[in-house]
Amino acid sequence: MKTATDLLGAGIASAFTGMAEARDGFAPSFAPRETGRIISVSTGIAHVAGLMSTGSDELLAFPGGAFGIAFNIDETEIGVVLLTDHAHLQAGDTVARTGRVMDVGVGDGLLGRVIDPLGRPLDGKGNIVTESRLPIERPAAAIMDRARVALPLQTGLKVIDALIPIGRGQRELILGDRQTGKTAIAIDTILNQRGKDVLCIYCAIGQRGSAVAKAISVLRDNGAMDYSIVVVAEGNDPPGLTYIAPYAATSIAEHFMEAGRDVVIVYDDLTQHARAYRELSLLLRRPPGREAFPGDIFYIHSRLLERATHLSADLGGGSLTALPIIETEAQDIAAYIPTNLISITDGQIYLSPSLFELGVLPAVDVGRSVSRVGGKAQRAAFRAVAGDLKLAYAQFEELETFARFGAHLDADTRQTIAHGQRIRACLKQAELSPVSVPGQITILLALTEGLLAQTPLDRMVAAQTTLCEAAGGLPEDVQGRFETASSLSEDDRTMIVELARKALHSRSKNALETAPVPAPAPASTTPAQR
């Protein structure tokens, strides 16, 4: 019979035997790890030595969980753009290679979330589960992999959908002075995609925290966050984070585009992006050019916007529509950055501060705005009712300017000005109130047929509301033909005109019935009564 001492000794012996077997079976693996050290650190950048095999745009790891991108690769040192807080870094700290470029997590788990360009959540809703990761810098689709822009992107804004249409896969620039409503147009476009199977990405670049919070609040209150992703790089973030923000957002959008989805991405705004890149370039002592911008400022925006496209059916048929925003100074659209982006994009929507001050909202200057692609994708119903609208509006603006000098006007000129005033009134639209396609077509058709000619200007808003309500009563087959038909048939046109005429007549009749009856004037007295 074994005693307790014998059992203890046997257990110890067995344990030593297991340890010996584990020791004999252990094969240590040694892998070389290239490290360097920090030479100097300044605002947003660091100079590193000792990493001789580092590749261009490689991600480098710094102490404390900080990261940077290798930007300048010289013979003796590397200029690194820092992406995170660098207050704890100092000369002599160790730097390690990661062997990969900067990437970002992509997938359906990002929908409804607010993240930074590194993929970290900013909305306090916990960690984000992503399907895969994509590099933020990716080559644009080849020409043979693209399809023509054939489907419209409805913004819900009458002035844009009718006169400056945007197609899915197009790059349409939004520019204007500060506080003229550029972001409002982008937000309205996102809100109008509800129920249209279009995903939206709002990329805030160098914006104030209060402005970003307001935009997110509007999206959330209107139910747009269900199909949207917000990528935020605030103005107080490191310039490196601001620089990579639009590229990270584009990679997220490309994941959905390659899955066959339609995506809209808003860059708000690329002026701040260009300034961040200028700051980094000057700190890294790259040679400055015009307005102190580096010589490759055109290239960084062209390679970004070139990724917006409509893929061919063989690749899923997805599309990525880009709406970059830039800010002009004193209406100077001939400045360096505006001219660069105008030449890169497929058209521009120019917002005039003069129109904004007059209360013409959205303050779109139709004469300076153009869409070089969207007309090919515009619905046939819009082309039928808005074909001559832009010309008529341009003639009205010229005559209005001429009439300000007090010249005598004939009857035809006065009629043209009156019609132009109603065109302007119809193109006005309140913020956060997109109009459906049937509503827009009904309003524009009533305008072109002269049904609003007798409507006073101060009642145009009420008349348009009546027409939109009446458009909701159109048969479903007629509304379906707005989306698919190659032309607006005469029968449909007659039906819409009659519907609009009855709605306006009913509104006018109700307005007369509900109008207060004026009190009778006091009877005048005659000399005899005195």
Give buried/exposed letters for 172-210 (b at 16+ CB in 10 A, else e): bbbbbbeebbbbbbbbbbbbbbbeeebbbbbbbbbbeee
Cα distances from 10 to residues 18, 19, 23, in angstroms, run 12, 14, 20
Please give the structure tokens belonging to residue 316.
């899923």
- Determine the angle formed by the axes of helices 460-471 and 437-448, rounding to 10 degrees: 130
Note whether 93 and 39 are within 8 A (CB).
Answer: no
Task: Give CA–CA dist 267/246, Å, rounded.
Answer: 7
Among candidate residues 148, 178, 285, 372, the one labeled active-site is 372
Please give the structure tokens belonging to residue 412.
């035809």
Task: Give CA–CA dist 374/324, Å, rounded.
Answer: 16
Note whether 166 and 274 are within 8 A (CB).
Answer: no
Task: Give CA–CA dist 330/341, Å, rounded.
Answer: 18
Phi first, then psi, for residue 406 (nearest 5°) are 80, 20
Report the alpha-carbon angle 221-223-228, nearest 5. Answer: 110
List of residues 6+ apart from 14 with CB closer than 8 A: none
Told to judge if 372 belongs to the known catalytic residues of this protein, a careful annotator would answer yes
CB atoms within 10 A of CB 53: 8
Q: Which residues are catalytic?
A: 372
